[in-house]
Structure 1
Amino acid sequence: MKKTLVLLAAGLFLSSALIGINLTQNVKAENFGSDIHASPGYGRKPDIALDNSDNIYLAWNAVKFAKSIDSGETFSDPLDISDGYVPSIAVDDSNNIHVAVGDKGNIYYTKSTDGGETFSDPVVISDSPGGDNPDIATFEDNVYIVWTASYLENLSLDKSIDGNGFGTDVRVNGPEDRPADPAIAIGSDETIYVAFENGLGFGDADIRVVTSTDQGSTFDPSVAIEDPDNNMYAPSIAALGTDKVYVSYWSQGINRVRCSRSTNSADSFSTPVNVSHNSGATLAGGHVGDIKVHPCGKIFVTWHDDSSGEDAVYFANSTDGGTTFGENFKVNDGSEAAYHPKIAVGSDTQTYIVWADSRDDGNLFFDKAADATWPSQVTDLQATQKTNTSVTLSWTAPGDNFDLESVSSYDIRYSTSSITESNWNDATLVSETIVIDEAGSTESINITGLDKGTDYYFALKASDEVPNTSPVSNV
């Protein structure tokens, strides 16, 4: 979509080529604001989901629901939607809200089709008693729920296709597995990935992943993530595209949150890397943290950590596909205990985290970080036409959020000497009107009023709506 905007500042440069590197940006501690009170009354083990408009939905123990339609500035009064504990919440492509919950050995399901104003009566979807720890995911309008059907023996999955009812439970794991604490993610081709603890109570515990390519009708044998000398617990899983899978978990031997990745649809996994840099990640009620991946490829992880001497919620992200993770920083304010964090990522890579807190008799609290991904750097700026007093410059329109979206504005400047980040503000601004086109299109601008016989350098930056600003273009 084309956008006509007035350039906030301009300056392009016309001569030598100084090609820069294409950088990405981590969410920083300063991107998070003050904690927001999300629930009156006691709250534990929350979960979080977003709809297509980035409205925020929360569910937590006992089971209550609240929503925010103002980016988490305020939340609705809690709505009782079911009995039970440890709910899991997801939103489908039609913005229907789905909640799975375990209660008294059964797995219940409830749904809202009106943005969380009302919910259907909970129904039992598990075929046999003993169910616990459900996790839910959607693909388009299909709903998939996985749970521990029989502790250390069997995981089950049930599904609802295109809004129809649930069917017969499908066994997820193989007979050699000893599963517990499942987590589910779905790729862009509807491949289903389920991660689980394996072997708890039967020797060393590891993390395994099973895969289904037929809407959960059958599952391949489990694939182990190797973390030698460390017991592994509390997995969380995220999927990107048709072949990328990311699993975070607690590594008991070193008390860290770690991440392993697959680039071949979970046929194999990489050597795990540390997400938490200090030895302080801990289990809290069987839960450590949560992982999400944005379509742009950024990976976001939150977890419970006491390395600072207090129970706190921490965050880190990766901009290189999970090869490394950036700075760890504390999310919650103050020194009160905070645990059970869950994370959601908005369309523009906004980060939303909810957790249980000891403040106000154990309420839920929430924090958020704005989009922290700058547009791509322009590296092909060139002069296409010149006169004694004017120049036409052209370049390929960069994208925002890893080229998924268009930029919002350009900042263009010129100078009689080379332009760099350090002298950017000294260059002359050019105020012009330009039609901003989609990423990958050719942009151009004609700059007039230049002095005859003078050599000029031109450069530009692109900004998004926050604004996050790209590095200086080639000059």
Structure 2
Amino acid sequence: MKKVMNANRLLMLILAVICISAVVYPVCIVGFSSQNKQGFRESIRVSDDGLIYEWYPVVATDGKGGVYVAWFSWICYENEIWSTGIHFAYSHDWGESWSSSAKVNDDNRLSVWHSSPSIAVDQQNEHIYVTWWDNRTGKPCVYVSCSVDRGASFGTDVKVNDNEGGMSTEYAEYGTPYVVNIEADNSNVYEVWQDDRTNPNFDIYFAASQDGGQSFGQNVKVNPESHKNNSLPWITTSKNGTIYVVYTADGTIFLAKSLNKGAFFEPPSKVNDDEESWYRGKKEVKISNKGDIYVVWTDGRAGHSEEYGWTWDIYFALSFDGGQSFCTNIRVNDDRPAEFGYRTGQGTPSMAIDSNDGIHIFWEDLREQLETYYHFRDIYYAYSSNPIDFSKNVKINYVSHAEVCDCADPNVAIDSANNLFVVWSDTPHDPVEYIHSIYFTKKQLSGTGSIPYLVAVGIISLILVSVITVLMRRRLLLKKPAKQKRARVNRMFQSKIY
């Protein structure tokens, strides 16, 4: 009986030590890493090319320490010759160190324009897919390239659209982002993009690959014929294989879904809850672990004035019924609606969902642009543990000795251990030319069990168990003579009774 009680006490002791370690570890690491008060690391530069402009970064993770970033580069050669490309860098240690930048696209002609990168990782086979559009054939088309060696190299570019060209010359000239998007899972690769093959005001098209991106099937139109001016699509898939596509049509956001791997899309549902046709910019759709659907976007419902232009906000909507209907929209940014009389304020949101269905939203924000001449845009962040309201907004970008702040186009990824990885473009050290580079930060959400976290907790637990075991042994040794003395007294007392 005593042995059982001792075993139970030892088990309770070990569990208590592990719990204490889980608290001690985060406290310890704060002093050994460069973090701001929100827990995000100091921003570090990912790109190393020294190119004139680097914009529209996108990030993905393989869940095993691999973090992968692609972006649009605008290069100026001698004699003022300009060219563009899709560049890429990787980290295999959760973003602590980065590879050199490399070009993804295999067409290197200076006359070809590339833009609108998107990235996805198939975590089942660790294949990395980067997609974009370019005009190598004379007309803008969608291409994808795959890496099977964790980003060390990329294969031959594969054309996705099944016609001669998928976008208008206007988009080829100005490099508009967010017109192409990709998702990958279990060797299936899904793409959506805006396409003007039959509609000069664009439709949303979809294509699927079932052989890991080596070839794509027939393109399928997502939106109904009644929808015009369709733009800025985003795609995601659920655990049961349902495909969801969110897009804008004539100033209204819609969500379409397919239950048969993209062969057919059902009539879409309206996402925004107002009746006006305002500007609805870049958007994302995600699926929670419970199957709820989350949508975030740039919204212009606050209006427009001749003096100050558009007023943009970040809005969020939730569906509990598989996208059939959406709840009341929620404004995420918390600055006052008429602050300084000038608030063109927020745009290009990106969203991640953690393992507890916590919602993490990042966006570019102009609320501080009037404070100094060289302060334009920041990257702001808000969190919600429920889909009802959001936390106080906080700024996450920080670069030591920055002379300029002009952050744009954030993008976020999250792994199964709840490590947040965020990228954006910024020009912190060039107040003259405003040369943008790609920057990165990360945050380990507390109590989520990343691999470094578990290793550290295990080490601290072993140390504490060892120390406590030694102390207990010392205590037992000290008590042993007293126990022996009491035993002799008891024997003497019992002998007198009997």
Alignment TM-score, normalising by the size of structure 1: 0.70
Give the structure 1 partner of residue 270 of structure 2: 224
SS in 2 for 1:227: coil
Deviations 1:142-175 (A, max 9, x none): 1101000126331111111142521111111111
Give the structure 1 partner of residue 104 of structure 2: 81
| Structure with the higher helix share, 1 or 2 | 2
Deviations 1:86-144 (A, max 9, x none): 11000002110011111121000110001111101112111121247210011222110
Q: What is the rounded CA distance, in whole Å, between the counterparts of 1:223 and 1:192 in structure 2?
A: 14
Amino acid at match of 1:35: S
Taking only aligned residues, the RMSD between alpha carbons, in angstroms, comes to 3.1
Residue 296 of structure 1 deviates from its aligned partner by 2.3
Give the structure 2 partner of residue 120 of structure 1: 155
| Structure with the higher strand share, 1 or 2 | 1
Give the structure 1 partner of residue 359 of structure 2: 299
Q: Identity rate of aligned residues, in percent?
A: 24
Matches of residues 386-401 of structure 1 in structure 2 within 5 Å? none
Deviates most, 236-245 or 334-343: 236-245
Mark the runs of 5 or more structure 2 residues left unpaired by the alignment.
1-10, 21-34, 73-84, 108-113, 172-178, 303-311, 338-342, 370-375, 430-434, 470-474, 477-498
Q: What is the rounded CA distance, in whole Å, between the counterparts of 1:300 and 1:274 in structure 2?
A: 14
Q: Does 1:312 align with 2:394?
A: no
Amino acid at match of 1:51: D
Q: What is the rounded CA distance, in whole Å, between the counterparts of 2:325 and 2:191 in structure 1?
A: 24
Query: Closer, same or farther in 2 for the Cα pair 1:67/1:239, shift >3 Å?
Result: same
Amino acid at match of 1:235: K
In the alignment, is the contact (CA less than 8 A) between 2:380 and 2:393 conserved in 1? yes
Mark the runs of 5 or more structure 1 residues left unpaired by the alignment.
12-26, 200-204, 376-399, 413-428, 434-447, 450-475
In the alignment, is the contact (CA less than 8 A) between 1:152 and 1:198 conserved in 2? no
397, 402, 422: which one pairs with 1:332?
397
Matches of residues 11-410 of structure 1 in structure 2 within 5 Å? 29-40=37-48, 41=50, 42-61=53-72, 62-82=85-105, 84-92=114-122, 93-104=124-135, 105-128=140-163, 129-131=165-167, 133-150=179-196, 152-163=201-212, 165-178=215-228, 179-199=230-250, 205-228=251-274, 229=276, 230-241=278-289, 243-254=291-302, 255-278=312-335, 279=337, 280=343, 282=345, 288-309=348-369, 310-320=376-386, 322-333=387-398, 334=402, 335-360=404-429, 361-372=435-446, 374=447
Q: What is the rounded CA distance, in whole Å, between the counterparts of 2:37 and 2:333 in structure 1?
A: 15
Q: What is the rounded CA distance, in whole Å, between the counterparts of 1:53 and 1:9 in structure 2?
A: 24
Q: What is the rounded CA distance, in whole Å, between the counterparts of 1:258 and 1:29 in structure 2?
A: 25
In the alignment, is the contact (CA less than 8 A) between 1:183 and 1:196 conserved in 2? yes
Residue 241 of structure 1 deviates from its aligned partner by 4.0
Number of residue equivalences: 365
SS in 2 for 1:359: coil
Q: What is the rounded CA distance, in whole Å, between the counterparts of 1:110 and 1:256 in structure 2?
A: 34
Give the structure 2 partner of residue 419 of structure 1: none
Amino acid at match of 2:262: G
Q: What is the rounded CA distance, in whole Å, between the counterparts of 2:313 and 2:119 in structure 1?
A: 26
Q: What is the rounded CA distance, in whole Å, between the counterparts of 2:18 and 2:235 in structure 1?
A: 47
In the alignment, is the contact (CA less than 8 A) between 1:257 and 1:281 conserved in 2? no
Q: Which has the larger radius of gyration?
A: 2
Higher relative contact order (CA 8 A, sep 6+): 1
Residue 330 of structure 1 deviates from its aligned partner by 0.9
Alignment TM-score, normalising by the size of structure 2: 0.67
In the alignment, is the contact (CA less than 8 A) between 2:355 and 2:418 conserved in 1? no
Deviates most, 143-152 or 214-223: 143-152
Residue 5 of structure 1 deviates from its aligned partner by 5.7
